[in-house]
């Protein structure tokens, strides 16, 4: 699926090890556009912290159990952007 993105983004994505979950899985799930995928992943890689990983892990069950994105959890989108 990374073939649809430019080389700079692919290099950025490959600069970090794969994880269990991430912003794409939490915030966009299957209903996000590729541009959102790139936006969330770029933000995550450039702003990585242990706290950001903890937030992703806390929001993942919500997205999986309820089939909705983490954006449906009050105030989470702003919290991730401000981290």
**pTM of the full structure:** 0.68
75 pLDDT higher than 50:
no
Q: Any alpha helices (H) in the chain, and if so which ranges?
A: 7-14, 23, 34-46, 50-66, 76-81
Q: Is the pLDDT of residue 2 over 80?
A: no
Each residue of 15-60: pLDDT tens digit?
Answer: 888 877 888 778 776 666 788 888 888 988 899 899 989 988 888 8
**What is the reported pLDDT for 33?**
78
29: left (phi over 0), alpha (psi -120 to 50) or beta: left
């Amino acid at each position: 699926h990374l073939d649809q993105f430019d080389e700079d983004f692919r290099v950025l994505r490959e600069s970090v090890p794969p994880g269990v979950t991430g912003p794409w899985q939490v915030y966009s799930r299957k209903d996000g556009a590729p541009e959102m995928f790139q936006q969330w992943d770029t933000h995550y890689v450039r702003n990585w912290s242990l706290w950001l990983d903890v937030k992703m892990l806390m929001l993942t069950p919500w997205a999986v159990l309820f089939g909705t994105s983490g954006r449906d959890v009050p105030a989470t989108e702003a919290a991730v952007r401000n981290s």
